[in-house]
Amino acid sequence: MAKSPRAELDSFCAWDGETLVLNVLGKPGAGKDVIGKVTGHQLNISVTEAPVAGRATDHMVRFLAGKFGVAVKDIEVVFGRFNVNKQLRIRSPQTLPSVIAKHLAQKPPATKPPAKPQRRLP
């Protein structure tokens, strides 16, 4: 799978067509796997796996696949596989965790700029 360009978000999550783009602050070595609160422009996600050789990120992807109702292959780590700061792209999520659903429900839908009037040629 080709890497997608890094998206700059004005929030911790946004839609890109049918793909959900998610900025994450990972917390490895936690007591349990859990989707936490939003801090700034990142969603806190804790996982039980230790931060060794990307295993915590791999574990997070498997955990999130279940939460979003998608296959593991439908979650792409755009950046941050070996870092706590990550960006994920989740293709066609079937369900949304409540923190994300609430946020997206509050956000006004993106609108296209009005079309420019066409010039008439003399």
13: CB partners within 8 A, 6+ apart: 20, 21, 22, 23, 43, 100, 103, 104
Q: Encode 45-82: b = buried (16+ Cβ within 10 Å), e = exposed.
A: bbbebebeeeebbebbbebbbebbebeeebbbbbebee
Q: 77 versus 118: which is more confidently predicted?
A: 77
Does 13-106 carry CATH code 4.10.140.10? no
- Is 3's pLDDT higher than 50? no
Helices (H), the chain: 55-68, 98-106
Residues forming beta bridges with residue 26, ordered by sequence position: 45
pLDDT of amino acid 117:
52
- Is 1's pLDDT higher than 50? no
- Whole-model pTM: value is 0.79
d(CA 38, CA 9): 14
pLDDT of amino acid 2:
47
pLDDT digits (tens, 9 = 90+) for 11-36: 899 999 999 999 999 999 999 999 99
Pairing of strands 19-27, 13-16: antiparallel
User: For a pLDDT cut of 70, what percent of the chain falls above it?
Assistant: 80
Average pLDDT for 42-63: 95
